[in-house]
Amino acid sequence: MSSTAQTVAISTGKLWTARIITALVVLFLLFDLIVKLLRLPVAIQATVQLGYPESAVLVIGIIELLCLITYLIPRTSVFGAILLTGYLGGAIASQFRAGNPLFSHTLFPIYIALLIWAPLFLRDERVRALIPVRK
């Protein structure tokens, strides 16, 4: 099967910037999902404060893990970013419903979503074509 997508060379600076941002966001998400998978008290407490049952912590952690794995596979990275964006949308809704502060809690998932999409924008011509930026 041949690919119709054209490969466009990107600068070394953009490539390394994309790699560093990816590493940082992946480390953050790994930390977050490991805390959930291990059902640490901090994860249980935060989840319950948002109005979810204690039993939801493990399920939420598994969903986050599956989304992250999809993001880390190069062929499915854009789909993984879409899944993670949806996951983070739920986090925004939960924070908003709980009445948490806007910039530090409610919008924090948007900051993470921007960090998820930034490396794809830097290294993938298809993503850049979807989000045209004037120079």
Tens of pLDDT, residue by residue over 71-90, are 999 999 999 999 999 999 99
pLDDT in tens, 56-74: 999 999 999 999 999 999 9
Domain total of the chain:
1
Cα-Cα end-to-end distance for the chain: 35
Residues in the chain: 135
Q: What mean pLDDT do residues 28-32 have? A: 98
User: Does residue 18 form part of some domain?
Assistant: yes
Mean per-residue pLDDT for 47-56? 96
Confirm whether 26 is domain-assigned: yes
HSE (CB half, 13 Å, CA atoms) of 72? Answer: 13
Does an H or E element contain 81, and which?
Answer: helix 77-97
Separation of CA 9 from chain center: 25
pLDDT of residue 54: 97
Average pLDDT in the 94-120 region?
95
In a domain, 3, yes or no: no
Q: 86 phi and psi, to 5 degrees?
A: -65, -45
Residue 133 inside a domain? The answer is: no
Can you say how many angstroms the Cα of residue 39 is from the centroid of all Cα atoms in its chain? 20
Query: What are the CA-CA distances from residue 98 to residues 51, 92, 125 (Å)?
Result: 8, 10, 39
Contact of 81 with 37, CB cutoff 8 Å: no
Is 45 contained in some domain? yes
Range of the domain at 91: 12-126
pTM for this model (two decimals): 0.89
Closest by Cα among 2, 1, 31, 10 to 112 = 31
Q: Is the pLDDT reported for residue 48 higher than 60? A: yes
